[in-house]
Amino acid sequence: MDIREELKNTLFQLGLENPQFEFEVTPTGKIGGFIISQSFFGKTQIERQNMIWDMLDRIFDTRNV
């Protein structure tokens, strides 16, 4: 499976409202991109990033238990 698809599948678990994902892989293998969702409405860029990281922490914490 392509790394972008794996990432997308994980991010769908976040429960964001109608998410849209745009990713690219650099020549060195790093991934960058955007997540677009109505769940971010009214939030600053930092609040959006913190929201994603908090959700990812919860997902990965439960997988490692």
pLDDT one digit per residue (tens) for the chain, 65 residues: 788 888 888 888 888 999 999 999 899 989 899 999 999 999 999 999 999 999 888 888 866 65
Residue 45 maps to a domain: yes
Q: What is the pLDDT of residue 51?
A: 93
Q: Is 41 domain-assigned?
A: yes
Residue 38 within a domain: yes
pLDDT (0 to 100) of residue 5: 86
CA-CA distance, 51 to 45, in Å (whole number)? 10
Domain assignment present for 36: yes
Tell whether 47 is covered by a domain. Answer: yes
pLDDT for residue 35: 93
Question: Considering the domain boundaries, does residue 18 fall inside one?
Answer: no
Quote the domain boundaries for residue 52. 30-65
Domains: count for the chain? 1
In a domain, 19, yes or no: no
User: pTM value?
Assistant: 0.70
| Inside any domain, residue 21 | no
From residue 64, alpha-carbon distances to 12, 58, 60 in Å are: 19, 10, 6
